[in-house]
Structure 1
């Protein structure tokens, strides 16, 4: 496990929906030491919401990178993060995976079942995002994405048989309270807190996730 917090200042980041995006992004960078980058944003025209990218068929309106070098711009510098959101206050908050964490993603129903199972087992999960697409994204140590297929095989599961995916290097998650078009905002199913400042290894959470996905089929 690894420390993803800067210490006592990392007291639980509360439900973020009403917080300004700038201050939330700063807390992620300063308190959790996560790299952060500003993404696209939503614009209103004629009473309709549109993605800043201008694509009418954008699959993630208001919640995706805005330029090819987005990963190189991601930073945990508070000054740089403040500058991003001062220039674009409504930009989504994107967190690159494969750096301080990977994520393991399952359907929301399976994710909630897995969280209940982990609680019974006495396992403290890392932060968990509830996406607008009905999925839960579990934060684990970097490298978890690469480990997952072998872990599933060792547990007797064929990876393709489960709706269990992962995000590692070169990918990202849209962090709460980023909005995705009219579908709502990402939320924390398990928010960052002092209790989960140490991220679990994939080996600790994959058994519960696989079990829940198997039950959810």
Structure 2
């Protein structure tokens, strides 16, 4: 079954239901060849959903690395992913960036504006996540973190004036069906499909993303 997310600005986004973190992590590794690693998970206590890390004021409860060596733990092997999630089936599904993809990180409102603009321009998009922290992450070819500052400057924007970042080597994104405490789950604004297996270069998307973030200043 699918349901839609209320309150989105440019689209009604299908929400996956009934897919376990284990099954999803294995599919990401097997079908998309993405590296995956298990993060923290949610623990019920006194009627609340707390992070397994034990921090009462955790900024991303149930949705951040559980180990300091997470980068070395990440694997593209479906069988290794299955073994890791069998140890903790409710662990979040995290994807390291800077390997098979980077991710351009923008506010949700700017992301929907950019998506609408890209659709009108018939640009080829990669997967895009929408997280409960009201951020969208656009998957692009690796190397974007190095390119973006100069690309933004060429468009006439001082990079520090835009709420636009790039997650590259040493960072990660939370992937569906990861939950952020009581705030909800990460979802796909643009799902991974056979058609978007080949990711766009950040140069193709940055004009729309920079324009949208500029409108949000």
2:3 corresponds to: none
Residues 96-175 of structure 1 correspond to what in structure 2 (within 5 A)? Answer: 96-175=96-175
Report deviation, 1:125: 1.0
TM-score normalised by length of structure 2: 0.92
1:7 corresponds to: none
User: In 2, Cα distance between the equivalents of 1:194 and 1:207?
Assistant: 25
User: In 1, Cα distance between the equivalents of 2:106 and 2:46?
Assistant: 36
- The alignment of Structure 1 onto Structure 2 pairs a total of residues equal to 204
1:58 corresponds to: 58
**RMSD (Å), alpha carbons:** 1.0
Report deviation, 1:145: 1.2
1:24 corresponds to: 24
Q: Secondary structure at the match of 1:147?
A: helix
User: In 2, Cα distance between the equivalents of 1:126 and 1:24?
Assistant: 18
| Mapped pair 1:83 → 2:83 | yes
1:193 corresponds to: 193
Report deviation, 1:156: 1.0
2:73 corresponds to: 73
1:44 corresponds to: 44
Q: 5+ unaligned residues in a row in structure 1: which ranges? A: 1-13
| Mapped pair 1:92 → 2:92 | yes
User: In 1, Cα distance between the equivalents of 2:192 and 2:148?
Assistant: 23
User: In 1, Cα distance between the equivalents of 2:145 and 2:137?
Assistant: 12
Q: Do the aligned partners of 1:106 and 1:136 also contact (CA within 8 Å) in 2?
A: yes
TM-score normalised by length of structure 1: 0.92
Report deviation, 1:214: 1.3
1:184 corresponds to: 184
Q: Do the aligned partners of 1:163 and 1:213 also contact (CA within 8 Å) in 2?
A: yes
Report deviation, 1:160: 0.8
Kindly indicate whether structure 1 or structure 2 has the higher relative contact order, using CA contacts under 8 Å at least 6 residues apart.
1
After superposition, the C-alpha distances for 1:28-83 in whole angstroms (9 at most, x for unaligned) are 10000000000000001121111111111111110111111111010011111001
User: In 2, Cα distance between the equivalents of 1:214 and 1:44?
Assistant: 41
Report deviation, 1:26: 0.7
